Structures are given as C-alpha cells and as structure tokens.
Structure 1
C-alpha cells in the first residue's frame, strides 16, 4: 500500500500535478461555497468561458495570460451586472447571453489571430503538464484569496445572506461585489491548468455541495469542502496514474461520487438516512389518539 503512494512521487510531473491539485482542490470549494449560498453557481461557469477572449489576446500580444484572462473575466461579470441593472432581463438570461457571446468571441479571436492556443488543454485541462511556475502562481492566488476571506469574513457573510441589510448599514456592496468577481476569476485562472474551464465549475461546486449536505454553518462548509476538494484532486491524480485515465475528468468524477454518497447517506439530509417527516407525523397522531382514549 505504501509503495502505491510513493511510486508516482518518483516523477516530477506527478509531484507537480499533486501539488497544484491540492491547491485548487482547497481554493475552489471555499470560493464555491459563496456561489452556492447565493444561488449563483452557474456564474462560475460563465466567467470560466468569459476568460477565453482575454487568453487569446494575451497570446497574440505575448503578455502574461493572467492579465488578459483576468480582464476578460471581470468584463463578463460586469456585463451581466450591467444588463441586470439597466434592463428587465433576468440574471439567467443575462448569463446565457454573456456566456455564449464571450465564448464565440474567444474562438473567433483564436482563428483570426492565428494563435497557437491549445483549445483542448484550455477546455479540459492538462494537470500532468503543469510547470513549477504554474504551481507558484496558483499558490499565490490561493493565499491571496484565502487571506482576504479570513480578513473580511464577517462583511462577506453579511453581504451573502442579506445584501439589502448590508447596504443599509453602510457596507460598500459594490466593492464587495467587485472583490467577489475578482476572486472567482482568479480562482478559475488558477484552476484552468488542472481541470480546464469546462470542468472547473464542477470543482467549484461539487465539494462545496457535498459539504452543504453534511454541515450547517458557512465556515464549516468551506472547511469540509476544502478537505473534500483536496482529497478528490489528489486521489484523482493517483487514479489517472494507475488506471490510465484523463486526470481532469478523474478528479471531477471522484468529486461527483463523493456528492452522490453524501446525497444518499448524509446523517441529516441523506435520501436514505434522513428522518421521515410523514412517518413522524403519523406516529405523533397515533400517540395523540391513544392519550385521548386513555
């Protein structure tokens, strides 16, 4: 058993894959927890596809992809907010329009600018091709976001559950929204190399949803989700090594399997284990009838 754990570590590409998998496995569920409680889980998927035009332009200009991807993702997020504030269009329609427009623009720019951007790697990730500088970048992004969440946890908690109340007491809700969008965009950028933009939404939402079924408090949800995300990422890399599976999908499928187990067997919300309210009501009625007869 010990040899099974040690053998992959003899290869540098496996050590790099495990390292960045652990980083994004911790970061994604923490940020994703806020998306879930705000009922905006699909926003992560929209921003993930909005970064494609920025990536294409960055490749063409020869600059760091972080700059272009961040600018493009933030632009997509603010376009959604602007459409919501200026029209009667609902948020789901605004996200669908922005998603398709930015993705089509990105694919068009790749063709027009003749970039040598590996679209398959962008969509599905290439965690086994991670370089040390990718790990350092992901680690820096993770530390920055986690530190910001710790420093402003109370403000974020208030904003997440009561935006109107947060605005009434004088919290800078627009600044919080901007910071939240920036955190989502940076998280997606850090995770693209590992699982790609198509699968990143699963890593954002999957472990956090599993934690949602197991605990009740937001901070507990983030902690449990981070643990499950790290386990899914590391175990997914090991499965891809021994079973010759694509690493990104292996991570996502393992995360989804943990959610399925929680859905079925969660002590409080599991389909097979939760208390039956109808049965409890019927039992109480029988007890009441017996007492009346006595």
Structure 2
C-alpha cells in the first residue's frame, strides 16, 4: 500500500469521515480550553466535570431527550455542587471535587445497570466515535462552534483571570463571573468530547494538549495556536492508526496525544540541559561551584 492509498482508503467510508470530523472538532475545542485549565490548575476539575455528566446522559436517554441536554445540566450541577461544598464548610476544593465527581459517576453507572435499553449505553463511558450519526455530528459541531467562539471572544479576560484574578478585579472585571463562565464552558466542552472518546478519556483531551503546548512555549498566545494544531494532528494520527491497525479509535487518539506530550517533554528536557551546559552562570552551575568551593 502506497502513501496515497494509506490516506485515501479510510475517506471512502462515510462513518470514518464522520469520525474524523467529530474527533477533530472535539480535539480543537478541548485543546483551546485546556490552555486555561493548565494555566489555572484546574486539571482535577476537568476530570470531575467529564465524569459527572454520565448520569445526565443516561437520564436524557430514558426521557428520550438529546444526550447533550442531560450532560450539560449535570455538568453545570457538578460545578455548582463543588462550589457549595467548598464554600459552605471546611472541605477543601480538591476533596469536594473528588466527592462530587465520584458520586455522580457512580450514580451514572448504577443508572446504566438498571436501565433497559436496546442501545448499548456503555459506549458513553468508553466512546464510540465510529458509530456517530449525522445528527450527533451536527450537535457536536454547533456546541463546539459556540464554545470556541466564546473562548476566542473573551480570551483576554480569561487570560487575565488565569494569571492574576486580583488584577482582573482592579480593572473592573468580575473574577467570580469569569471563573463561572470558564466552568460552564468546561461543561460544554466535556459534552463535545463525549461522543468522540467517551467519559473516561475526555479528561485526556482536556489536559494533554495544553500541557504539551506549555512545554513548547512560554507565551500564552502561542499556546492557543500550538495546542489546537497538535490536538487536530493527533486526532488524525490516532484515527488513521486505529483504522489500519484495527484498534479502538478513542484510546488511539489519546495515545497519540500522550506521545506528543512525551516528545515535547524530551525536547524540553534536552533543551534545558543543553542551555545549562552552554551557560556557565546558570543557577545549577552556580550551585555546583558553591558546593565545590
């Protein structure tokens, strides 16, 4: 098989075209938001929201409503519950997040186990990107465009909030409102990625691209370009690899993102060591000289 056949063969199948489209959309939206999540330190919050939407999806299925509606409602509910538990008692934020997301995730698993259905609801947990319909693609595209538009439009305010909430408040911005808006967008983004990789792996798309971009640049503006570009490339690489190797699609996309992070990490590590060797006045060199003296 030559390179042209390697690239073209999957595109002859309609389900693969839909899979590529929905995964690239989800990856780009998640990667854009992940830049702020990594900067603020909300990785655990991303994990919480991505798992907490599961009971909403199951209840939406029972009611015959769109999955996205239930997922959005429970995503917002999870964020609100974490805030209530954190602000009204001695429980710290990380503990509140852990309690809320594990409880809601367990509720979703129980609902799946007792819900009679001709639809295999387990694909929501592990993803079923090859089985998405045109309506699913349309739904994800609309949510993704809305989320991405808000992130781009309010990027300066969100960035200022991420770096220094007090300075944002001094400039007349409302840090609480900006934080709530980011959490709301996090819930929407989790819904966007749900169809592509499932509940379990959503957090990988929400964190890994931003972490990878952060290794490659110290400028936030460049992060916002590098992260979505890398995520889209990893989506394509993962899907093509899953097609030709006959493996699960969602996990392959996540593995591609993990490989990109590993390469960026090794590049950064090598660059840092090379800079240290070339710079005789680096902090590490100075500490070594002080011990020797």
Common fold: TM-score over 0.5: yes
How far apart, CA to CA, are the structure 1 residues paired with 2:116 and 2:57? Answer: 13
Q: Equivalent of 1:193, from 192, 195, 201?
A: 195
Structure 1 residues 46 and 116 mapped into 2: Cα distance closer, same or farther (>3 Å)? Answer: farther
The structural deviation recorded for 1:112 is 4.1
The structural deviation recorded for 1:16 is 0.8
Give the stretch that moved more between structures: 255-264 or 55-64: 55-64
- The aligned counterpart of 2:4 is 2
The structural deviation recorded for 1:178 is 2.4
1:158-197 mapped onto 2 (5 Å cutoff): 158-197=160-199
How far apart, CA to CA, are the structure 2 residues paired with 1:201 and 1:15? Answer: 24
Is the aligned partner of 1:231 residue 2:243? no
Show structure 2 runs of 5+ residues with no match. Answer: none
- The aligned counterpart of 1:152 is 154
CA contact under 8 A between 2:27 and 2:205: conserved in structure 1?
Answer: yes
The structural deviation recorded for 1:116 is 5.1
- The aligned counterpart of 1:62 is 64
Q: Which 4+ residue blocks in structure 1 deviate beyond 6 angstroms?
A: 282-285
Is the aligned partner of 1:74 residue 2:80? no
How far apart, CA to CA, are the structure 2 residues paired with 1:219 and 1:131? Answer: 35
- The aligned counterpart of 2:276 is 276
Query: Matched residue of 1:33: which SS?
Result: helix
TM-score, length basis structure 1:
0.90
CA contact under 8 A between 1:156 and 1:176: conserved in structure 2?
Answer: yes
How far apart, CA to CA, are the structure 2 residues paired with 1:117 and 1:48? Answer: 21
Aligned length: 284
How far apart, CA to CA, are the structure 1 residues paired with 2:76 and 2:183? Answer: 7
CA contact under 8 A between 2:49 and 2:101: conserved in structure 1?
Answer: yes
The structural deviation recorded for 1:277 is 7.1
Q: Equivalent of 2:94, from 92, 95, 108?
A: 92
RMSD of aligned residue pairs (Cα, Å): 2.2
In the TM superposition, what whole-angstrom CA distance separates every residue of 1:80-139 from its partner, at most 9, and x where no partner exists? 112221122111111110111101121223334445553431111111111122222222
The structural deviation recorded for 1:23 is 0.8
In the TM superposition, what whole-angstrom CA distance separates every residue of 1:9-44 from its partner, at most 9, and x where no partner exists? 111011111111211121111011111000111111
How far apart, CA to CA, are the structure 2 residues paired with 1:274 and 1:141? Answer: 44
1:130-141 mapped onto 2 (5 Å cutoff): 130-141=132-143
The structural deviation recorded for 1:170 is 2.9
Structure 1 residues 243 and 272 mapped into 2: Cα distance closer, same or farther (>3 Å)? Answer: farther
Structure 1 residues 139 and 270 mapped into 2: Cα distance closer, same or farther (>3 Å)? Answer: farther
The structural deviation recorded for 1:140 is 1.3
- The aligned counterpart of 2:213 is 211
